């Protein structure tokens, strides 16, 4: 297979990379990327088979190890994140799990933001704990708290920025200083921004994690994940875990994601623009108490967000006004139930706008006290803004807001 010759410009821009980077072309000279649905690859003779097995990664052997369609997705995403290397996984959670398996061992400790994806909290606090790996959870926006939480056995710092659903911003460069002093790896889950808005490796992160299920696919079709970082780190610490444990990305899903990346920049641009318009409109609405969106000047970390990200992102959360939990839930649910266009679902990153009531869905398993401490009340709603006309989204929300 050859690299298409039209992808050889010295420093192509983001959108050029999104459309062309990592492309491989077979002998049939297909224009669009080919889908290699094959579990194994054949050898010309016994000697070549022996060589492929010995060479460890050179040439294709078996799709649990590597596959040309998966390789195209990995190489394209690596180009977009500015990473030396990328390995794809079956889901975002398997990327996080495999990263932990590659970096940590029994007796190690990790410091994590407390505002992270619910399944990641469970993975750290329940699953890893069974194998003797302990976690301290700290506020994402307080670097001093991270430094205080470090122990002699701390090997990993883990953060999502902006956080879900309140869009708190973690200072990646400040956390890098804490990680360096601790001799720990700084891992950033870049799901909410995607490389179109934020490239954590350029801000000091060692490793980037993706749930490709969200903005990278962008159309709610397939699950996928990725781990990105330095070549040696990926080759020596992550690849052996993935080859052996086998949470491999299906070539079909890789092909869908590869095509998703081609429109990432333009989708994010429009979805973020829609989100900002909606956030400003919601801020001025009398039925709403507070809006959370990093693109608003009223966001407490607006300046930091704008330094790390090229825009505020496509997530908008807000508190409806009301007195007491019963009334707040009733008013929030009225907004949800008034929607005819917005989808009532917890997924995000889709071209279709989604609306979620975190207190009774994504964060329902969290205790009421912990929810209150995290600022996730009964009046909070989260919208992941898509590509519909903003006027239609506004009309949809107006029905329930009164
Ligand atoms: C969805 C999500 C994940 C998990 O990804 P899956 O593809 O569902 O396994 C991890 N982190 C964040 C921030 C997410 O939104």
* Number of domains the chain contains: 2
Q: What is the pLDDT of residue 252?
A: 98
Rounded to the nearest whole angstrom, what is the distance from the C-alpha of residue 92 to the centroid of ligand 1? 5
Q: What is the pLDDT of residue 57?
A: 56
Residue 9 pLDDT more than 80?
no
Rounded to the nearest whole angstrom, what is the distance from the C-alpha of residue 131 to the centroid of ligand 1? 22
Regarding whether 294 and 237 lie in a shared domain, the answer is: no
Please state the atom number of ligand 1 nearest to the C-alpha of residue 224. Answer: 7
Rounded to the nearest whole angstrom, what is the distance from the C-alpha of residue 117 to the centroid of ligand 1? 7
Q: Is residue 126 part of a domain?
A: yes
Residue 293 pLDDT more than 90?
yes
Q: How confident is the model at residue 367 (pLDDT cuts 50, 70, 90)?
A: confident
Check: CB of residue 206 under 8 Å from CB of residue 182.
Answer: no
Nearest CA owner, ligand 1 atom 12:
117
Regarding whether 99 and 122 lie in a shared domain, the answer is: yes
Q: What is the pLDDT of residue 16?
A: 96
Share of the chain above pLDDT 70, in %: 97
Q: Is residue 78 part of a domain?
A: yes
* Region 359-387 average pLDDT: 89
Rounded to the nearest whole angstrom, what is the distance from the C-alpha of residue 2 to the centroid of ligand 1? 34
Rounded to the nearest whole angstrom, what is the distance from the C-alpha of residue 52 to the centroid of ligand 1? 34
Q: What is the pLDDT of residue 371?
A: 83
Please state the atom number of ligand 1 nearest to the C-alpha of residue 348. Answer: 15
Residue 1 pLDDT more than 70?
no
* Region 363-373 average pLDDT: 82
Residue 6 pLDDT more than 70?
no
* Region 215-222 average pLDDT: 97
Regarding whether 354 and 232 lie in a shared domain, the answer is: no
Regarding whether 84 and 22 lie in a shared domain, the answer is: yes
Please state the atom number of ligand 1 nearest to the C-alpha of residue 192. Answer: 13
Nearest CA owner, ligand 1 atom 6:
92
Supply the CATH number for residue 343's domain: 3.90.1150.10
Residue 73 pLDDT more than 70?
yes
Rounded to the nearest whole angstrom, what is the distance from the C-alpha of residue 68 to the centroid of ligand 1? 25
Least confident of 58-67, 149-158, 200-209, 241-250: 58-67
Ligand 1 site, residue 23, Cβ cutoff 6 A: no
Regarding whether 294 and 212 lie in a shared domain, the answer is: no
Regarding whether 277 and 240 lie in a shared domain, the answer is: no
Q: What mean pLDDT is reported for the chain?
A: 94
Q: Is residue 74 part of a domain?
A: yes
Of the residues 262, 278, 300, which one is the last residue of a structural domain? 262
Q: Is residue 387 part of a domain?
A: yes
35-52 residue pLDDT tens: 999 999 999 999 999 998
Regarding whether 211 and 289 lie in a shared domain, the answer is: no
Please state the atom number of ligand 1 nearest to the C-alpha of residue 347. Answer: 1
Q: What is the pLDDT of residue 26?
A: 94
Rounded to the nearest whole angstrom, what is the distance from the C-alpha of residue 3 to the centroid of ligand 1? 32
Q: What is the pLDDT of residue 8?
A: 53
Rounded to the nearest whole angstrom, what is the distance from the C-alpha of residue 51 to the centroid of ligand 1? 38
* Region 374-385 average pLDDT: 94
Please state the atom number of ligand 1 nearest to the C-alpha of residue 95. Answer: 9
Q: What is the pLDDT of residue 362?
A: 87
Least confident of 110-114, 359-363, 368-372: 368-372
Please state the atom number of ligand 1 nearest to the C-alpha of residue 94. Answer: 9
Rounded to the nearest whole angstrom, what is the distance from the C-alpha of residue 370 to the centroid of ligand 1? 21
Regarding whether 217 and 112 lie in a shared domain, the answer is: yes
Of the residues 206, 234, 262, which one is the last residue of a structural domain? 262
Ligand 1 site, residue 115, Cβ cutoff 6 A: no
Ligand 1 site, residue 376, Cβ cutoff 6 A: no
Regarding whether 385 and 340 lie in a shared domain, the answer is: yes
Please indicate whether residue 386 or residue 58 has the higher confidence score (pLDDT).
386
Of the residues 262, 285, 308, which one is the last residue of a structural domain? 262
* Region 190-202 average pLDDT: 98
Q: How confident is the model at residue 3 (pLDDT cuts 50, 70, 90)?
A: low
Regarding whether 272 and 185 lie in a shared domain, the answer is: no
Regarding whether 211 and 335 lie in a shared domain, the answer is: no
Q: Is residue 95 part of a domain?
A: yes
In testing the pocket of ligand 1, which one of 100, 115, 119 has its CB within 8 Å of the most ligand atoms? 119
E strand intervals along 128-184: 134-138, 154-160
Q: Is residue 332 part of a domain?
A: yes
Supply the CATH number for residue 152's domain: 3.40.640.10
Q: How confident is the model at residue 283 (pLDDT cuts 50, 70, 90)?
A: very high
Domain residue limits at 108:
14-262
Rounded to the nearest whole angstrom, what is the distance from the C-alpha of residue 250 to the centroid of ligand 1? 17
Ligand 1 site, residue 117, Cβ cutoff 6 A: yes
Nearest CA owner, ligand 1 atom 2:
211
Ligand 1 site, residue 217, Cβ cutoff 6 A: no
Q: Is residue 3 part of a domain?
A: no
Regarding whether 278 and 240 lie in a shared domain, the answer is: no
């Amino acid at each position: 297979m050859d690299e298409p010759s039209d992808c050889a410009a010295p420093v192509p821009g983001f959108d050029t990379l999104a459309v062309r980077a990592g492309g491989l072309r077979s002998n049939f000279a297909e224009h669009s990327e080919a889908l290699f649905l094959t579990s194994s690859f054949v050898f010309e003779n016994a000697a070549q088979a022996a060589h492929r097995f010995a060479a460890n990664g050179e040439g294709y052997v078996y799709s649990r190890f590597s596959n040309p369609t998966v390789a195209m997705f990995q190489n394209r995403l690596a180009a977009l994140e500015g990473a030396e290397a990328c390995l794809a996984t079956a889901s975002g959670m398997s990327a996080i799990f495999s990263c932990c398996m590659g970096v940590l061992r029994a007796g190690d400790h990790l410091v994590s933001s407390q505002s992270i994806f619910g399944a990641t909290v469970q993975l750290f606090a329940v699953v890893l704990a069974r194998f003797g790996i302990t976690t301290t959870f700290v506020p994402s926006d307080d670097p001093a708290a991270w430094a205080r939480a470090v122990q002699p056995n701390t090997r990993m710092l883990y953060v999502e920025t902006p956080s879900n659903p309140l869009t708190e911003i973690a200072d990646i460069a400040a956390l890098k200083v804490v990680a360096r002093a601790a001799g720990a790896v700084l891992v950033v889950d870049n799901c909410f921004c995607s490389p179109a808005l934020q490239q954590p490796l350029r801000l000091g992160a060692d490793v980037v994690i993706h749930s490709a299920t969200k903005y990278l696919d962008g159309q709610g079709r397939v699950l996928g994940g990725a781990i990105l970082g330095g070549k040696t780190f990926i080759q020596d610490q992550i690849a052996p875990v993935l080859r052996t444990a086998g949470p491999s990305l299906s070539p079909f899903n890789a092909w869908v994601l590869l095509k998703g990346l081609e429109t990432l920049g333009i989708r994010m641009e429009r979805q973020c623009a829609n989100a900002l318009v909606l956030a400003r409109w919601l801020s001025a609405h009398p039925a709403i108490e507070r809006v959370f969106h990093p693109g608003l000047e009223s966001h407490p970390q607006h300046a930091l967000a704008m330094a790390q990200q090229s825009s505020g992102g496509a997530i908008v959360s807000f508190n409806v006004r009301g007195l007491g939990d019963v009334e707040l839930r009733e008013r929030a649910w009225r907004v949800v139930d008034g929607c005819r266009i917005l989808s009532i679902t917890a997924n995000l990153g889709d071209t279709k706008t989604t609306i979620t009531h975190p207190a009774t869905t994504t964060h329902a398993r969290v205790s009421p006290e912990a929810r209150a401490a995290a600022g996730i009340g009964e009046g909070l709603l989260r919208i992941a803004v898509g590509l519909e006309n903003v006027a239609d989204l506004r009309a949809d929300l107006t029905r329930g807001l009164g």
